[in-house]
Homo-oligomer: A and B are copies of this chain.
């Protein structure tokens, strides 16, 4: 690691001057600038981010906290965040929380200790102290918070959409899988679906679930078809659960979509690869990550500039969901 001092002596100037040309701050004679630039190139000098961070009390690092990167929904979110951050020369410290309060706190602590300038968190506890007391901007991703900024998809509308499409395609005995109670977006979807079903005056049943794990979903799928054998339409809480339902339907010899239609939620990469390919309500995960990063960057730059004036210029971003018609739902001509 070559330091600014070495560059300075190589160029025959003081460190102050080197700093000036590096940061393009203050006047510096054209000739000396060239000398310095030459020295920088020769010595392959790269400023030490740590020293910078220490002095300025802010780094080019942001913290990204996700429940579990192993869950197929999150890689796309992460990639969206990463791409946008990369473009703006921010780096990411990444952690999995497993929706565990303690892990979450630990990560937040180490984020702070490393002088991150912002945090993107996909947490179920956005209103907890560790966020409220934070002195740096936070954006909640895929989770809503009452007073903080967040980026999320329109789950309620998604639920409604799922119900509408199901009905438009002729199912009348709907069973809705209610996602985990502690996951806000899952409840939004559920509520949306149920409201629409009620509005449409359709009978429906509900099967409660507590996670998005495939293993567990398999048993709920069994429960679904044994408790409600006449079900001809399933609105699943996400694509993983929908997949488990498909497997169980196969096992029972039910034809998809003739005997039972299935609609998932998320549109994870898996969905289009299933057989038959899964119809689902698409959340634009990559875009969500991208938008969250963009929002956070704005907040960071704003807090650099006007420390007190004009706060809260920005607001949460709700992204639209979309019905992706594939082959677990029947075709309709009139639909549009």
Contacts and interface: CB of A to CB of B under 8 A. Distances in A.
A262 to B, nearest CB: 13
A118 to B, nearest CB: 15
**Oligomeric state, in copies:** 2
Contact of A94 (B68, B70, B72, B92): B92
Nearest to A103: B86
Given A50-B53, A274-B273, A96 B79 contact: yes
A269 to B, nearest CB: 7
A221 interface: no
A70 B76 CA distance: 6
Interface stretch (A35-43, A109-117, A171-179): A109-117
Nearest to A85: B95
Contacts of A269: 70, 72, 214, 270
A91 interface: yes
B95 A61 contact: no
A69 interface: yes
Contacts of A72: 72, 75, 269-270
Interface stretch (A13-21, A152-160, A242-250): A242-250
Contact of A274 (B64, B115, B214, B275): B275
Interface string A60-93: 0100100011101011101100110010000111
Interface in A95-132: 95-96, 103, 109-110, 112-115
B61 A114 contact: yes
A46 interface: yes
A332 interface: no
A94 B113 contact: no
Contacts of A305: none
